[in-house]
Amino acid sequence: MTITETRAASAVQPRVRVSGVTKVFRQAGTPVVALDGIDLEVGAGEFVTVLGASGCGKSTLLSLLAGLEQPTSGEIEVAGSRPALMFQESALFPWLTAGANIELALKLAGVPRSERRDGVAELLRLVRLEGAAGRRVHELSGGQRQRIALARSLAQGAEVLLMDEPFAALDAITRDVLHEELAQLWQRTGMSVVFVTHNVREAVRLGERVVLLSSRPGRVLRTWEVGMTQPRSIEDPGVAALSVEITQALREEISRHAAA
């Protein structure tokens, strides 16, 4: 099935389904509602970005999708095995080489030992770090570490990739390069991606759909269909125009919450 055909089927075969999900934490014995009645579907091969003010529950939503937390109420369905999760920090094992970090993920995914070396080489090629297998983590730049972390996520063979502000700590040029590479990898693999960010332009640059969460408690406030094909640039007029619209909606929500 081609990427286009896969996405056409996404409406009837979602890889992620969140139905009426609420998450309540307790702080000093007091219940705090982080998410309230979230409904969200992500189709096969779809790239969805999730935006919202700090503390709105974006990372909590990813933790629920990853199975690291359980919802207080509601249902979550994620297709296939446990989704792959990529954090803002690369979270690589510093005592292992770049290649060994990736190979460990292949091992845990059940890839036979005889196939792992070729698998590592292929994944390094995908993230444009051929020849870096023997390098230690401290020898890698921030962007290179995130590339290795992305390769390790791909090594898990998951149908769904969850990304929690993975490029937030990088400089603008490195972030732009990784945006382009991530978009290319997504198109090649057909994975479903849920990408959390606080950067509006990043959300529009990458996503097919942008979901805005309200300030705490987090609810789906509004959704935008981006309607622009990849490749696209963060400087594209269409990206800029939609970013202005979404930024205005985000500002209004932040102001509403501050005045409440």
Q: Is residue 102 within a helix (H) or strand (E), and if so which, with residue range?
A: helix 98-108
Q: Which stretches in the chain have pLDDT values below 70?
A: 1-12, 260
DSSP annotation string for 14-68: EEEEEEEEEEEEEETTEEEEEEEEEEEEEETT-EEEEE--TTSSHHHHHHHHHTS
Topology of the domain covering 3-83+159-259 = Rossmann fold (3.40.50)
Written as one letter, the residue type at 25 is: F
**pLDDT for 43-69, tens place per residue?**
999 999 999 888 889 999 999 999 999
Question: Which pLDDT value is given to residue 81?
Answer: 73
pTM for this prediction: 0.90
pLDDT at position 249 is 94
- Tell me the C-alpha distance between 22 and 35, whole Å: 5
Label residues 109-139 b or e (16+ Cβ within 10 Å = b). Answer: eebeeeebeebbeebbebbebeebbeeebee
The arrangement of strands across the sheet holding 14-27 comes to: 30-43, 14-27, 73-78
What pLDDT is attached to residue 12?
56
Write out the residue limits of the CATH 3.40.50.300 domain(s) in the chain. Answer: 3-83+159-259
How far apart are alpha carbons 22 and 172 in whole angstroms? 35
Number of Cβ within a 10 Å radius of residue 59: 18
Contact 162, 84 (CB under 8 A): yes
Reported as a single tens digit per residue, the pLDDT across 30-45 is 999 999 999 999 999 9
